[in-house]
Every structure is written in structure tokens, then in C-alpha cells.
Chains A and B, each alone.
Chain A
Amino acid sequence: MIGLSDFLIVSAGLFCVGLYVILTKRNAIQVLIGIEMMLNAAILNLVAFGKYDRFNNGGQMFALFAIVLAAATTAVALAIILNVYKKYKTIDPNEIHELKD
């Protein structure tokens, strides 16, 4: 079978790619995609560790919770991004530096 370390290395790579996307991309939707990548790396870790507990399976359970939370986050974040675009006519995070109205 596949060892634990293989899963963890893949998830570490995915996490770092997500970090790079968040740090470099210049529009908010791509930053959101980077956040999703990091969340998915965390979920992969949960699932990989959850393999060693058949009765309580906390890993898979909290992976499910994390997926649902990611869905909620994305819905709210996209609504916020659309509103920011309506107000500022840009979704570049560098250009939105006044949050008070």
C-alpha cells in the first residue's frame, strides 16, 4: 500500500503552490482559488491520517466538514468580490486599500 509520507509530500506541494498563487496573483478570484488549494491540501492530510482509524474515523468526518466550510466560504467570498467590483471597478487586492466608505 501507499505510505503516509507520499500523501503528505503531495499535500505539502499543493499547499506551497497555493501559497505562491495567493502571494502573486493580482485578482481576487485567483487568490480565492489559491485559498481553495491550501484547503484541499489540508483535507488531503486529514484523509490520509484518517485511514488509520476505522471506528471513529475522525479524519474523514472532519474532511467532510472542511469541504462544507469551504463551500460556505466561497459563496460569501464571491458575493463580497462582486460587491467590491461594483464599488471600486477593480478586483486587484493591491488597489483596494480603503475599506471605510
Chain B
Amino acid sequence: MTMVKALFYLMGFITLASALFVAASKNLVRSVFMFFVTLLSLAGLYVLALADFVAITQIVIYVGGILVLVLFAFMLSGKETLANLQQQNDRFISISKLPALLLAVLFFIVMVNILFKTDINNLQWVNKAVSYKIDIKPDSPMTSNIGTNLMTTYLLPFEAISILLMMALVGAAHLSRKEKNG
């Protein structure tokens, strides 16, 4: 077992375990902080998939942006929200949660089954990419390539998403303003 493989299994385990903790935890703030761990270990998985730029973006946007936003929503919503949120008197597995658990487990079985049925490690186009040597190597310069592609091939989605982001931010600011003079 090589170092990379060991790191991959470590990261995968941390990801799934912290996600399960988020699902199981009754304390809301603690589950949000545990979601930090999930996102950080996912960034580690992206690095192991040789997508370092995506990993840094994940850390900057998700961990630095989204989770701080979620925590701010807690802080702003006052003490009584937190008190309301705490009083969920339910265990991880109870009768009312059985359908959801069944659905999730069956969905997982279906997906893993499909993965093995399609023989995912020997896909035709993947084998072709490996044989033509156009798969990403650990030393290939990806970040400059991403920059070039962003300004050439993917210019239209880039512009579309920037307009959408601006619309969403204006909308969020509009929705969350204080209603003083109508």
C-alpha cells in the first residue's frame, strides 16, 4: 500500500465519518462545525484526484464563505432560535426515521451496484485517455491550463455564472434587509 493510497483511505474515512456525525448529532452548532471537517477532507480528496486548484477553491469558498455565512445566520437569528433548535428529542435511529434510513441505504446499494456492473475502472474512454497519455499527471501544470480554458473554451458559462452570482447576491441582500420604511 503506497502513501497516496493510505492518504486516500484516511481522507475518505474522515469524510464519511464526519458526514455521519453531522447526520447523527443532536447539537446543531456542533454539526455545523463537523461539516467543516467534511469539507476540508473533501478538499484533501480533490488534491488526491490531482485537482489542486479546485481544492483551494473549495477551501476558500466553502470553508471560508459558506460556513461562515451559516454561522452568521445562527448568530443573527438570536437566542430563542438556538433554544428552539436544541430541543429535538430524537435518537439517531428511531421508528419515524426508518423510511429515510431505508431509502438512503437502498440508494447506496443501487449506486454501488451500478458502479460494479459498469466496471468503472475499465471504461472505454478512460482507457483511451490513459493510452493516449492525456490524463492528468501529478506534475502537469493545471492551474495555468484552467486559466486559459476559462478565458477561451468556457467563456460563455463563465460570464453566465458571474451574472447569476451577481443576481443571487443582490437578491440575498434584498431578502435579508430590515424593513423600516416599506
A19 B103 Cβ-Cβ under 8 A: yes
A-B contact count (CB 8 A): 233
CB 8 Å contact bits of B118-137 with A (1 = contact, 0 = none): 00110101100110001111
Interface size class of B (residues with CB under 8 A): 35 or more
Q: Are A61 and B136 in contact (CB under 8 A)?
A: no
Tell whether A68 pairs with B165 under 8 Å between CB atoms, given A33-B31, A53-B129. yes
A4-40 CB mask vs B (1 if < 8 Å, else 0) is: 1111111011111111110110110110110011001
> In the complex where A63-B54, A83-B175 touch, is A71 in contact with B19 (Cβ < 8 A)?
no
Does B95 reach chain A (CB closer than 8 Å)? no
In this assembly, does B140 line the interface, its C-beta being within 8 Å of a C-beta of chain A? yes
In the docked arrangement, what's the CA distance between A53 and B126, Å? 9
Q: Are B16 and A51 in contact (CB under 8 A)?
A: no
Q: Which 7 A-B pairs have the closest CB atoms?
A: A72-B168, A23-B100, A79-B175, A52-B129, A20-B104, A79-B176, A75-B172
Q: Which residues of A contact B (CB under 8 A)?
A: 1-10, 12-21, 23-24, 26-27, 29-30, 32-33, 36-37, 40, 43-44, 47-48, 50-65, 67-76, 78-83, 85, 90-91
| Chain B interface residues toward A at CB < 8 A | 4-5, 8, 12, 15-16, 19-20, 22-23, 28, 31-32, 35, 38-39, 42, 45-46, 48-51, 53-54, 57-58, 61-62, 65-66, 69-70, 73-74, 76-77, 81, 84-85, 88, 90, 97, 99-101, 103-105, 107-108, 111-112, 115-116, 120-121, 123, 125-126, 129-130, 134-137, 140, 142, 145-146, 149-150, 153-154, 157, 161, 164-165, 168-169, 171-173, 175-176
